[in-house]
Amino acid sequence: GQTLVVPLSAIVETLQPKDSDVHNLGDNARVIAIRGAFLPLLDVGAVLGYRADEGDPLNSVAVMVETENQSQCALLVDGIIGQQQVVIKSLETNYGHVFGVAAATILGDGRVAVILDVDAIVAGSRAELARADAHRKRSAA
């Protein structure tokens, strides 16, 4: 039920995941195959604590994002509402630092929406994938 804002400058493309494109890596990590590359697939709702279980990729939308240093990741969301211009309000100044959140905005209907910190989320996913890969290699040995 939470509306999240992804900065348009970070979005590369959106796509509907297919079963053959989504792969598990260890117990807690998934990747998605996009044009011959494997990108971390993160359920934004689970990463930010909005839900306990990760969503089904086949009933979701993958938003491929790129950070300022060209790292890429696919963010799994329930759906896309559309494109809007928003006024950014600092969350850290008024509340404190929250992982994965860069700022907040007030939507036209009065609801508050958080603006994602794509760089922090992608950096966190890279660290999580490295841990999952190391665990997988230890288990195989």
78-135 residue pLDDT tens: 999 888 888 888 877 777 777 888 888 988 888 889 899 999 888 876 656 555 556 5
Question: What single DSSP character describes residue 110?
Answer: S
Q: How far apart are CA 15 and CA 62, in angstroms?
A: 5
Does residue 46 register a pLDDT over 80? yes
Q: Give the residue among 86, 35, 39, 36 at the shortest CA–CA distance from 62.
A: 39
Helices (H), the chain: 44-47, 91-94, 118-140
Task: State residue 128's pLDDT score.
Answer: 60
Task: State residue 127's pLDDT score.
Answer: 58
Question: Phi then psi for 11, rounded to 5 degrees?
Answer: -85, 125
Task: State residue 11's pLDDT score.
Answer: 94
Q: For strand 72-77 and strand 37-43, is the pairing parallel, antiparallel, or unpaired? A: parallel
17-37 residue pLDDT tens: 999 999 988 777 889 999 888
67-94 residue pLDDT tens: 888 888 999 999 998 888 888 888 777 7
Q: How far apart are CA 64 and CA 11, in angstroms?
A: 6
